[in-house]
Structures are given as structure tokens and as C-alpha cells.
Amino acid sequence: MTELLTIRGLTRDFGGFRAVDGVDLDVAQGAIHSVIGPNGAGKSTLFSLITGERRPTAGTVRFDGRDLTGLAPHAVTRAGLAKAFQTTSIFPRLTVGESVCAALAARNAQLRLLRSRTKAGIRAEAETICGALGLAEHIHRAGSALSHGDQRALEVALALATAPRLLLLDEPTAGMSPFETKRVVDQITGLARERGLTVLFSEHDLDTVFSISDEVTVMHQGRVLAHGPAAEVRANDEVMAVYLGS
């Protein structure tokens, strides 16, 4: 199996507090890999170290053989890694279609593809991405007018517009109803399988995690407590004890 993302000894201190403590993590090409763990385990901090939003205190992040450790977020995006942000990073006054077109145009400009792409081409690509995330019927609505679940789907659409090879999703279903959760998770996994996209996913609902993941890494107090195929991690008593104890 080819590893797309290789993390070694990744560590991050906040003052005297070690939020991420010597994490090793391998994400295989094409895998859906979940990071789980109780609140405060260090999942979001770990993701921010991978995307370059925060700098690690120690350790390395390698992506497709390249050392990305300490690079700025735009350089990490350019290397083929995208994260859907929990914050409302959508453009509230643009319509769904305009937002995705803006993200596609930005990507094309960055990759200097501008001359080879027509406006109609960009619009068609935006329609494909919106359709894949169940947003087709909302394409002419303002981002701010969408339901919470549809706004989260739009955030994923904007991340997808950068044509990543690795998509990072930090609790993309936070605040969603079970129905919306299932819809968004099904769409993301369907899309990932279809496009051969690798996904690093953090999610609090364990049933969802175990049903969609190839590999699961469990964090607790900044460290990796367990990792392996989903079925193996699910059967690990120590993992369940951490959840029941939190």
C-alpha cells in the first residue's frame, strides 16, 4: 500500500501544555482514514499542524514524498491537500454556484490554468461538484440562506474545488441531524471512492466512523492510543473504555 501522508513524532505545545504528543500516522493512498477520540484529545490541533495553520513544536509531515513541515497553508493547498473548515468560511452573499465558481477560478489562477479554462467550463465543473454534494437545487441561493447541513456540504464543495488529492474533514457533520449526517457522509464517501480521493476524517459518531472507514486512529490526551483497520479498533476494549470514561 502506498502511503500518501506520513506523519512522524508530530508534537505541539501550547505554553506548558502538550496538545499533540509525538503522533505517528500513515494515511494510505485512496483510503478513508478516521481520527477519533474524546473531546480535547488533540484531533483539531493535529489537523491544523497538517494544513500549516499551526506550526509543530516537533515532528514531520510528509505528503507524497515531499516534506510539508512548517509550510504556509497556501503552499500546503497547492501541494494537493485541502481542508473543509468548521468555521463559516463560505461566502454568505454569493450564491452557492458563484462561491464554487470563485473557488475553482482561484484554483485555476494558482495553477495558471486560466487561459485553458472558459467560464462555461468552470460553471459546468461547479455544477458537477454541487450535484455530487446534493446542492444542485440550491445553486442559485445565497450561502447564508442554506440550512446548517447544506452550509457544511458547501464547505466540502469549496474544499473539493481546489482539486485536492487529500481531503481533511474535521467533524464535517457537527451540529447536523442524523438524517443530514448520513446524507453528507454518504456523499463524501461516494465522491471519494469515485474519484480515488484520500480522506482524513474526524467524526464524533462512532457508528458512522466504523461504517465508512478503512483505517481508524484513536487519539487520547494528545497521543495515539490505537490504530488499525476499523473492525480491529472497534473490538479494542481499551478504546471503548476511553469513550465510556470521557
Residues found near ligand ADP in the complex (CB under 6 A)? 14, 17, 19, 37, 39-45
Looking at the Cβ atoms of 125 and 155, the one nearer to Mg ion is: 155
DSSP string computed for 117-148: --HHHHHHHHHHHHHHTT-GGGTTSBGGGS-H
Closest separation in Å from C-beta 211 to Mg ion: 21
Q: Choosing among Mg ion, ligand ADP, none, which partner's interface includes residue 39 (Cβ < 5 to 8 Å by kind)?
A: ligand ADP
CA distance 10 to 23: 5
> Residue 50 to residues 20, 71, 132: CA-CA distances in angstroms?
12, 9, 26
Q: Which stretch binds Mg ion (CB under 5 A): 41-49, 69-77, 223-231, 233-241?
A: 41-49
Looking at the Cβ atoms of 47 and 63, the one nearer to ligand ADP is: 47
Q: Choosing among ligand ADP, Mg ion, none, which partner's interface includes residue 149 (Cβ < 5 to 8 Å by kind)?
A: none
Strands 58-63 and 66-67: antiparallel
Q: What does the DSSP 8-state code read for residue 200?
A: E
Q: Choosing among ligand ADP, Mg ion, none, which partner's interface includes residue 45 (Cβ < 5 to 8 Å by kind)?
A: ligand ADP
Looking at the Cβ atoms of 44 and 189, the one nearer to Mg ion is: 44
Cell of 178: 442524523
Q: Does 44 bind Mg ion (CB under 5 A)?
A: yes
Looking at the Cβ atoms of 34 and 187, the one nearer to ligand ADP is: 34
CA angle 176, 125, 160 (to 5 degrees): 40
Place of cell 467550463: 121
Q: Choosing among ligand ADP, Mg ion, none, which partner's interface includes residue 14 (Cβ < 5 to 8 Å by kind)?
A: ligand ADP
Instruction: Point out which residues bind Mg ion (CB under 5 A).
Output: 43-44
